[in-house]
Structure 1
Amino acid sequence: MSTFQTALSGLKAASTDLQVMGNNIANANTVGFKSSNAEFADMYAAAVAGTSPQYGQVGIGTTVSTVAQQFSQGNISATSNPLDVAINGSGFFQFDYNGATVYGRNGQFQLDQNGYVVDASGGKLIGTPAVSGVLTGGSGPLQITETTLAPKATASGTLGLNLNASSTPIGSGTPFNMNDPTTYNYSTTTTVYDSLGASHLLTTYYALTSGSTDGQKWDVYYSVDGTTSSGSGITSGGPMTLQFSSTGAISGTASGAVGPLSWADGASGSTIALNFAGSTNYNAPSVVNSLTTDGYGVGQLSNLSIDPSGVIFGRYTNGQSAKLGLITLTNFKAPQGLQRLGNNYFVPTYASGLPLTGQPGAGGLGVLQSSAVEESNVDLSSQLVNLIVAQQAYQANAQTIKTQNQVVQTLLSL
C-alpha cells in the first residue's frame, strides 16, 4: 500500500504547485505583486537504529517543503498620477492599516477626505511628517494639510544690471522726478510683497552724475506703487551712489536699503535690502541681467511631486514649493520570511527579522520614482510552461496509482 501513499504525496505536491502557479497567473496584473515558487523535498522512512536497509533506501514520496516568495524587481511603468510611486530596488512601503503596521510594494496612492496619503485598501502611508516646510524627524501617517502657503514679506533682493557707460550725465542740481525721464537715465520695476501677501511695484531709477578716468558715479532712487519716500532715495539720507571703476566693475558700496515702508492695508512695515553686487558699467545698453527677491504672496496647493529620496513637495500657485513629508522605506534581513496578509500586504515574522527603516537611497534601500508603479514580477511565459510541466507531473502520479491498482487486482485474481 506504500506505493499508493507515495503516488498520493506526488498528487498533493503537484496540486499545490498548480495552486501556486494559478495564484501567480491570477496576479499577473496586480501592481506590486511578488510571485511564489513551490519547492519540493523527498521523503524517506526512518530506519531502525543500528540497522540499514537490505537493498538500499526507497523513498516514500515527496512533500512541499516551502512556498518561497520571489522579491525580484518588477517592471516600472509610467502613470499620470503624481502620487503613484514605484520602488526601484529593495524595500517596502509601511502602512497603518486599521491600527496595524503592515508593509507592501504597491505604490498606487491617493488622498482621502482627511488629507492622508492612502492606498486603495485605505492603508495610511507612514513616513516622516513636515511642519511649515521642515521635516519633523518623527514617524507617522503622512497627511497633506498645508494647502495654503502663507505669504512672506520681501526683505531682500539682488539686482545684477549693466548701466550704459555712454549715457549722458544728468545736469548738476537737477532734482530727481520719477515723472520726468530727463532726470534719470534708466529705470526698472519689480514686484515686492508685504506681510499680508499684497503685491507692490518697486521701481528703481539710475541717474549718471559724473564720469572720469576713475569710473562713473550713478545715483539710485526708488518709488513704491508710484510714490517716492520722503528722502527719495535708497537710504533715508538721500540717494545711494554706485561707484564704478575704469574697468566697469563696482568699486565701492554695492548695497543699500529701501524704506522703511508703511502699507495702507495694515501690513507690517518693511525695509528691503538691495544688493547690486555683480552689476557693471560697460559701453552697452542698460539692461537687467539678473533679479531675485525673497518675498511672495499667498499660494494655494496646485500639485504634488515626489523626488527619488522620498521627499513630498507641494507646488503652489505663487510659484513656491515646500516640503510636506518624507516617504520612508523598510527592509528586512530575510524578506522571504514575511507572511502574506492579503491586499498586497505583508507582516513580519520571527523568520523575517526586525524591520529596518530609513530614507530611500540610503542603507541599501531602493530609490523612488514618482508618477510610476511597479508591475507584478510574474513572468507569464515561464508560468505557462511550468503549468504544463506540473500538469504532466499530476497525470504521472495519477498513472502510478492506476498501475498499482492493476497490480493489486492481479494479485487478488490469483
Structure 2
Amino acid sequence: MNSALYIGATGMKGLSQGMQVTTNNLANVSTIGYKQQSILFSDLIYTGQAGMGEWWNNQEDSRVALGQTGKGVQVDTVRTIFTQGAMESSNTVTDMAINGKGFFQVTDGVSLYYTRAGDFRPDNEGVWRTPTGLALNGYKYNEDGSLGGLQEVRIDKFGVMPGKGTARVDLTMNLNSGQDNAVSEDNPYFSLLNLYDATASRPLSSGSYNYSQGMTLYDADGNAHTVTAYFDGAPGGASDSMIEFLIAAGASAAGKTDADGNALEPSPGDGLLMSGVLQFDASGRLTGMSAFTPAAAGSKDLADWQPAELNGGLPQLTLDGATMAVNFGISAAGGWRNAPASAADVGTDQARLPSMGTDAVRAEGASTLYNSSAPRGAYAQDGYGEGILSTVAVKTDGTVVGRYSNGQDQNLWQIPVCRFVSEDGLRREGGNLFAATAEAGQMDMGVAGTENYGSVNAYNIEVSNVDMATEMVNMIITQRGFQSNSKVVTTADQMLQKAMELKRG
C-alpha cells in the first residue's frame, strides 16, 4: 500500500508537468515562430516479486513467469516539434518567414541566437532588429558585387547610388531610304559633319537628313546628356548602299567654361562625337561600317578626325570622360582594314573609308535598310544617373535588393539561413530565441532555397504550429490521468487507515 501511495504521487507529478507543457503550448498559440512541445513519459524501475509465479523447468536453463511490479512514472523528455507553421501575410517587407528548415541568426552584440520569428524592424540607425532589440546578421554586398563578412544588417533609408557612365549604346535602326539630302562635292561621306553648326538654334536643319534618333546618355559622373544620331544617304557602289551618320551631344554637353567658371562662346563643332558610314547590301542588310572621332574636341577639321578606337570590335566615342562603344549590330573582329590617317584622306573615294573586312560579325537584329518598312529606331544603353533609395525587396534566396529613384536595382545584403545537425539539441532562451549547444551539433550557414535550407518569404510571418484541438484533447487526458492518480493516493490512504484500525481493534 505504501508503494501505491508513491506510485500515485509519481503519476500526479509527471502529469502535472504534462499539463505545464500543454498549457505552455496553448499560451503560445498566437506566438509567431513558436514551435510546439510534446512531453514523453517512461516507467520507473521494477522489482521482482516472490510467489507471483512458478519456476517452470520444461526446458533446461529456461525460466519464465517471474513476477515484477513497477514503481510509477517519470518524465522522459520534453521535445520540440519543428514542423512548419502557417504563413500569415503582412504589409512590411522586413517581416520574413522561413519556409522549410533553418533559422535566422541574431545577436545582442555579444552572443549569437537563432529564431524562426522574422518580425524585424529597422531602428534609427537602419539596423534590422527583433522586437527585443537583437540585430539580424547578414552578408553585405561590396561595390564589386562580392560578399563581405558577416555583420549586422544595416540599410540607410536615404542611401545614394552613384551614377554610372554609359559604357555601351545599342542602336537598332531601319533607315528605310538612302536619299542623299546633305550634299558635299569634296567630302560626300562627311556632309552632315560639314553642315553641323552648334551655334545655330538647330545644329542641323530638318531638311539636311533623313532620320534622327534622340538618346539620353550618361557621362563619367553619371550626368545625363541629350545626344542625337543623324542619318542621311551617301554615294554607294553598284551593289551596295551607304548611309552617313553623325552623333552629336546637345547643349548640356557642349557648354564650356573658362578657369574662372565663366561661360565661353560656343563654336560650330561643339558637341560633335562621332561621324561615319553604314554599308548595306542590295537586300538591305548591314555588311560593314566606318567611324571617326575628333582628336580635338569641337574641331570640324577633317584632319583632326581619326578612325575610332575599337573595343570588342565596336567603335568608341567619348562623352565628358565616359568612353562608350556604339553598336549598330556589326563589329570588326579583326580591327579596321585599310584605315586612313584621318577623315581628310577619304575625299570622294569610298575605297579609302576604313573597312571591317570579310570577317565582320553581324549580330541578330542588326540595323537594316528595308524600303518596305517604315523608318524606325530604338536604342538601349547601360548608364544611369545618381539615385536615392526608394524601396527594398527581399528575394526568396535571402537577397535584399535596393530599388532606387534612377530605376536601378542593387543587391545590398544576403540574409543567410542557419541549420543544425540536431535541432532537438537547441536550448530555448525565451523571446522566440534558441541557443546553440554541443548537443545541437555543427551549425551550417547557407543560401536560402538551396540544398536543405528553407526559402525566405518577405511580407510574411510564420505563426505558431500549435494545434489547439490536439492540445485541448491532451489537456483533458492529462486532467483525467491526474484525477485518477489522485484517487489512487486517497484510496491507498484509506486502506492504510483501515489496516491501522484493525491493529487498534
User: How high is the TM-score relative to the length of structure 1?
Assistant: 0.89
Letter in 2 for 1:102: Y
Q: Which residue of 2 aligns with 1:149?
A: 161
CA contact (8 A) 2:284 2:369 kept: yes
Match of 2:281, SS state, is: coil
Counterpart-to-counterpart distance in 1, 2:209 and 2:5: 108
Say whether the 8 Å CA contact 2:47–2:68 is kept in structure 1.
no
Q: Which moved more, 1:377-386 or 1:65-74?
A: 377-386
Q: 1:408 — aligned with what? A: 496
| Match of residue 197 from structure 1 | 222
SS at match of 1:351: helix
Pick one of 100, 124, 128 that aligns with 1:117: 128
Q: Give the distance between the partners of 1:137 and 1:33, measured in 2 at CA.
A: 32
Deviation of 1:363 (Å): 3.7
SS in 1 for 2:180: coil
Q: Which residue of 1 aligns with 2:13?
A: 12
Distance in 2 separating the partners of 1:310 and 1:298: 26
Q: Quote the offset at 1:130 in angstroms.
A: 1.9
**Match in the other structure for 1:271:** 323
Q: How far apart are residue 400 of structure 1 and its match?
A: 1.4
Give 2:486's aligned residue. 398
Q: Which moved more, 1:67-76 or 1:38-47?
A: 38-47
**From 103, 110, 113, the counterpart of 1:102:** 113
Query: 3-state SS of the aligned residue for 1:126?
Result: strand
CA distance in structure 2 between the partners assigned to 1:82 and 1:213 by the alignment: 64
Change (3 A) 1:311 1:260: farther
> Matched residue of 2:68: which SS?
coil
The residue aligned with 1:244 is 280
Superposition pairs of residues 14-413 of structure 1, within 5 angstroms: 14-45=15-46, 56-132=67-143, 134-145=145-156, 147-165=159-177, 168-170=179-181, 172-173=183-184, 176-177=195-196, 178-210=203-235, 214-226=239-251, 230=269, 234-235=273-274, 239-253=275-289, 269-277=321-329, 278-283=366-371, 284-289=373-378, 291-413=379-501
Shift of 1:336: 0.5
Q: Specify the SS of the correspondent of 2:16.
A: helix
Deviation at 1:210, TM superposition (A): 4.3
Aligned amino acid, residue 61 of structure 1: G
Q: Percent identity?
A: 30
Report the Cα offset of residue 187 of structure 1.
1.0
C-alpha distance in 2 between matches for 1:309 and 1:72: 21
Deviations 1:115-134 (A, max 9, x none): 22211111111121222262
Contact 2:118/2:130 (8 A) holds in 1? yes
Deviations 1:93-145 (A, max 9, x none): 11112410111111111211222221111111112122226233422222224
SS in 1 for 2:164: coil
Matches of 1:209 and 1:240, distance apart in 2: 11
In the TM superposition, what is the alpha-carbon distance from 1:209 to its structure 2 partner? 2.2
**Closer/same/farther in 2, CA of residues 299 and 258 from structure 1, 3 Å limit:** farther
Q: Deviations over 1:153-212 (max 9, x none)?
A: 2232111122114x6332532654444111111112121223333321111111122467
Q: 1:334 to 1:410 in 2, by over 3 A?
A: same
RMSD between superposed Cα atoms in Å: 2.7
Q: Are the equivalent residues in 2 in contact too, given 1:77–1:372 (CA < 8 A)?
A: yes
2:326 partner letter:
L
Answer yes or no: is the 8 Å Cα contact 2:391–2:402 preserved in 1.
Answer: yes
Distance 1:128 1:46 in 2: 60
Letter of the aligned partner of 1:324 in structure 2?
L
- Supply the AA of the counterpart residue of 2:441: G
Residue deviations 1:303-360 (CA, integer Å, cap 9, x gap): 1111121111111111111111111111111101100001111111121112111222
- State the shift of 1:386 in Å: 1.6
Separation (CA, whole Å) in 1 of partners of 2:51 and 2:453: 52
Q: Which has the larger radius of gyration?
A: 2
Q: What displacement does 1:404 show?
A: 1.6
Distance (Å, rounded) in 1 between the aligned partners of 2:142 and 2:402: 12
Q: Displacement of 1:253 after TM fit?
A: 2.8
When normalised by structure 2's length, the TM-score is 0.74
Distance 1:371 1:229 in 2: 57
- Judge conservation of contact 2:249–2:272 (CA < 8 Å) in 1: no
Task: State the distance in 2 between where 1:259 and 1:75 align.
Answer: 67
Give CA deviations for 1:8-56 in whole Å, capped at 9, x if unaligned.
11111111111111111111111111111011111124669xx997661
Quick one: distance in 1 between partners of 2:441 and 2:288?
66
Checking the alignment, whether the CA contact within 8 Å between 1:127 and 1:325 is kept in structure 2 is: yes
Count of residues in Structure 1 that have an aligned counterpart in Structure 2:
403
Tell me if the contact between 1:215 and 1:244 (Cα under 8 Å) persists in the aligned partners: yes
Question: Which runs of 5 or more structure 1 residues have no equivalent in the other structure?
Answer: none
Give the Å deviation of 1:268.
Answer: 5.3
Pair 46,312 (structure 1): closer, same or farther in 2 beyond 3 Å: farther
Q: Is the 8 A contact 1:78 1:373 kept in 2?
A: yes
Once residues 413 and 395 of structure 1 are traced to their aligned partners in structure 2, the CA distance between those partners, rounded to angstroms, is 27
* Secondary structure of the structure 2 residue equivalent to 1:400: helix
Cα separation, partners in 2 of 1:80 and 1:326, compared to 1, 3 Å: same
